[in-house]
Amino acid sequence: MAYDPSRIEPAWQRFWEEERTFEVTEDRTKPKFYALDMFPYPSGKGLHVGHPAAYIATEVTCRYKRALGFNVLHPMGYDAFGLPAEQKAIDEGVAPQVSTKEAVQNFRRQLMRLGLSYDWSREISTADPAYYKWTQFIFAKLYEAGLAYQTEMLVNWCPALGTVLANDEVIDGKSERGGHPVERKAMRQWMLRITDYAEKLLEGLETIDWPEPTKVRQREWIGRSEGARIFFAVEGTDEKLEVFTTRPDTLFGATFMVVAPEHPIVARITSDAQRSKVAAYVEETSHKSELDRQTAKEKSGVDTGGRAINPATGQAVPIFIADYVIYGYGTGAIMAVPAHDERDHAFAKKFGLPIVEVISGAEKPIEESAHSGEGVMVNSGALSGTPTANRQAVGVVVDWLEKEGLGQRSITYKLRDWTFARQRYWGEPIPVLKDGDQVVRALDVSELPLVLPEVESYKPLGTGESPLAAVSDWVAVSDAKTGRELRRETDTMPGSAGSSWYFLRYIDPKNDSELCARDKSDYWMPVDLYVGGTEHTVGHLLYARMWQRFLAEQGLVRDPEPFQKLVHQGMILAFTYYGPDKRLVPEAEVEERDGKLYKKGTELELEARIEKMSKRQGNVVNPDQVIDRFGADAMRVYICFMGPLSADKPWQTNGLEGQFSFLRRAWRLYFDETEGADTPRADDSEPTETELRILHKAVKKVSADIESLDLNTAISALHVATRDLAQEKSRSRKILGPLAQLFHPFAPHFAEEVWRAGLGHPAGISFVAWPQHDDRYAVDDEIRMGVQVLGKTRGEILIARDAPEAAALEKAKAEPSVAKYLEGKNLTRVIYVPGKILNLIVK
């Protein structure tokens, strides 16, 4: 019988389920390994091939680690709250609880068909009350620690939809759905004080093994800036205008001030003469979206009529409002130094403000462009002559400011607090009781979970509140603790809530009295290998780090960092074919002739492009169909073989077919399928030296490649071993057994089947000790070495790996293809790197 995945795969999946092969508990006699995949949003559309591609790296590693004797935790779950389910509820009236449950079942079924070695007994869903009880618990803890607070925030308000939109639901100032205009509106919002953790999150990056570009992005997102806060007296008032600057050394050149339009000081410093102009500008900017403000090319602003005193020069300088100063950053006000800041320069030019050079070294006249580089302080009174290099001048100025009481050293971060509320139904209810706007208390753990009530309609109310506000008997509470009539918060948590701690719940998923028992998290944490996409770099990966730190401070977990090693998988792309009319042509209708692509049976020449898989392009590949045709093992092997884990790469059905025939070829090492039945071929013969060499090289290469996650070259090593052993007509169990083990992490059903039915071992390959290589066989003692003359390869010699130079030289000279380049020349130098190269320099 030929290799038939549809026969063996379901059988082994049943076996693993019945034997509970992958269920684990804490076992302190074994080293632990916690491998985690970023859990999916269970979309109603089901899996696409990008999911398994993302899960394969941990999968292969886990199967390998188990065989090495590690106690492996490899769980899966669902990030189940989210907008698509809510939208479906609005459109079709299907309760998200119901549609999500269906989607989860479909996901689980599809994931199981892939033969992924998850411990399914630990499956979790963030939308499960038994789970979100603890999300709510963490929120309550954050509230009690003063890290959750409410404040007026500008939000994206869409009047047409009657709802608040997330930033990614707004495209070019219009709602993603329906294209309605979106405004900025101030609303009371729950926030989490992630900014309190800015420094710790920065420091923590030094301790973890993450891709450097990801760390760079987090660092930039946190955006630490060192500088000073400086106080400017406002003429004719007691007001102090506080600014933040990274260049206090340019203080003498501050010829005007700029304040963000939203800044509360604006009303107090505006002169009567300017009041109406200022009001108009403030009004105008409040209607502009963030995007409008950012894309405006011209600087705009208005003089408030107020004057501030530059503490260094004693000069009165005008105070402007302008939207290029952002209220949420620093102090929302700046000292403008047009000579040394491009933005201030542009503003000064537009409004005819003076430009005073205070740092020498400009290449162009200071009237023409700002000089933001290094130089020496000039026009700066007693401080003139101080060089700016190495922030020396900054130090001098700040010392002076501190001594005079005019300012102080200060560090500012770009990171903003985390907006932690959605005016939506399908999320965790925020567990607090309120009296009007006033929060009275957070719910106690004994009152949790606060279950999401059923509602009649999922439609936005149009007031900006979530549909929960309409459930009056849920909202109104008579509080047993205080005896007061209170109201529940009707906002729910954002999608990032449940995903910020799920890795802990896997460790103790059924615990009803704790979010995760401390002795268990001490055993399993931190995560040893976390795999997910780069798109979560500054969202999820930062939020989860903050929660983990908070929980560590609360003594609920030990480690300050949750993810010790992080790796990103690339995106799976697809070839998309376009006809001359730019119309899409499905892959099934494409054929290749003379290196050109045509629509099948026609002369229509097609253009191939590599694009993201998307429903709209019709190039989404469904894993169910792949498995039906080729089986899960071929798909897994192909995914590994496609290319480097972290690279984006296109799905190619041809390539998949190639790996399917590879498995069939490998199958024939184990079974003679000529007579219509599977006849095992293995025997107890002693392996030859050649066979041992093939095997040990493969063991060495495959092991090393799994360790370094170079799965594509690991598969390539399996190809080579399979080809060469077939050539040798290998039959020995001593060869075919270890080979099956090498297949196991990649093609587990295949490996289980050949292990039991082909080699006659008891069923179950998962925990059989991983083969070890012996360098006596894995390293060749005779190798083919290139011989160069003047750096150009001219021939090849067969020589002992560690042969002395004289021997190598002798062999090279005997090689006609080399000798002809030496003829009549003087050998002046010999470069010989044993095992690598022989390079002959002649004159």
Partner RNA sequence: GCCCGGGUGGCGGAAUGGUAGACGCGGCGGAUUCAAAAUCCGUUUCUGGCAACAGAGUGAAGGUUCAAGUCCUUUCCCGGGCACCA
Hey, which residues between 155 and 214 contact RNA (CB under 7 A)? 212-213
Residue 779 touching RNA (CB under 7 A): no
Q: For residues 593-622, which are near RNA according to CB under 7 A? A: 595
Q: For residues 292-311, which are near RNA according to CB under 7 A? A: 293-294, 296, 299-300
C-alpha to C-alpha distance for 117 and 60, rounded to whole angstroms: 9
Q: How far is the CB of 106 from RNA (least distance, A)?
A: 28
Spatial CA neighbour of 648 closest among 564, 565, 588, 575: 575
C-alpha to C-alpha distance for 702 and 746, rounded to whole angstroms: 11
C-alpha to C-alpha distance for 598 and 577, rounded to whole angstroms: 9
Q: How far is the CB of 244 from RNA (least distance, A)?
A: 5
Residue 369 touching RNA (CB under 7 A): no
Q: How far is the CB of 604 from RNA (least distance, A)?
A: 19
CA 106, chain centre distance (Å) = 25
Q: How far is the CB of 12 from RNA (least distance, A)?
A: 23
Residue 592 touching RNA (CB under 7 A): yes
Residue whose CB is less far from RNA, 245 or 500:
245
C-alpha to C-alpha distance for 656 and 635, rounded to whole angstroms: 7
Spatial CA neighbour of 531 closest among 53, 65, 124: 53
Sole binder of RNA in the list 586, 614, 817, 827 (CB under 7 A)? 817
Residue whose CB is less far from RNA, 68 or 841:
841
Residue whose CB is less far from RNA, 222 or 525:
222
Residue whose entry in the numeric block shows the structure tokens 């002369």: 603
Residue whose CB is less far from RNA, 111 or 721:
721
Q: How far is the CB of 318 from RNA (least distance, A)?
A: 17
How many residues in total does the chain contain? 843
Q: How far is the CB of 406 from RNA (least distance, A)?
A: 16
Per DSSP, what are the bridge partners of residue 585?
Answer: 577
Q: How far is the CB of 442 from RNA (least distance, A)?
A: 31
Computed on alpha carbons and rounded to an integer, the radius of gyration of the chain in Å comes to 34
Sole binder of RNA in the list 135, 245, 492, 496 (CB under 7 A)? 245
Residue 324 touching RNA (CB under 7 A): yes
C-alpha triplet 274, 275, 279: angle, nearest 5°: 120
CA 48, chain centre distance (Å) = 19
Residue whose entry in the numeric block shows the structure tokens 């690598």: 836
**The 3-state secondary structure of 609-649, one letter per residue:** EEEECCCCCCCCCCHHHHHHHHHHHHHHHHHHHCCCCCCCE
C-alpha to C-alpha distance for 70 and 33, rounded to whole angstroms: 6
Residue 837 touching RNA (CB under 7 A): yes
Residue 323 touching RNA (CB under 7 A): yes
Concatenate the DSSP letters of all residues of 555-623 into one string: TS-S-S-SBSBEEEPPPEEEEEEE-TTS-EE-GGGEEEETTEEEETTS--B-EEEEEE--TTTT-PPPH
**The 3-state secondary structure of 652-716, one letter per residue:** CHHHHHHHHHHHHHHHHHHEECCCCCCEECCECCCCCHHHHHHHHHHHHHHHHHHHCCCHHHHHH
Q: For residues 626-655, which are near RNA according to CB under 7 A? A: 641-644, 647-650, 652, 654-655
Residue whose CB is less far from RNA, 829 or 843:
829
Residue 88 touching RNA (CB under 7 A): no
Residue 713 touching RNA (CB under 7 A): yes
Sole binder of RNA in the list 710, 738, 742, 777 (CB under 7 A)? 710
Residue 727 touching RNA (CB under 7 A): yes
Residue whose CB is less far from RNA, 239 or 728:
728
Sole binder of RNA in the list 665, 693, 756, 761 (CB under 7 A)? 665
Q: How far is the CB of 696 from RNA (least distance, A)?
A: 17
Q: Which stretch binds RNA (CB under 7 A): 190-198, 320-328, 378-386, 684-692?
A: 320-328
Token pair belonging to 522 = 């001490």
Residue 836 touching RNA (CB under 7 A): yes
Residue 329 touching RNA (CB under 7 A): yes
Q: For residues 264-283, which are near RNA according to CB under 7 A? A: none
Burial label for 57, CB within 10 Å (0-12, 13-18, 19+), is buried
Sole binder of RNA in the list 414, 565, 693, 813 (CB under 7 A)? 414
Residue whose CB is less far from RNA, 602 or 661:
661
Q: For residues 522-581, which are near RNA according to CB under 7 A? A: 534, 538
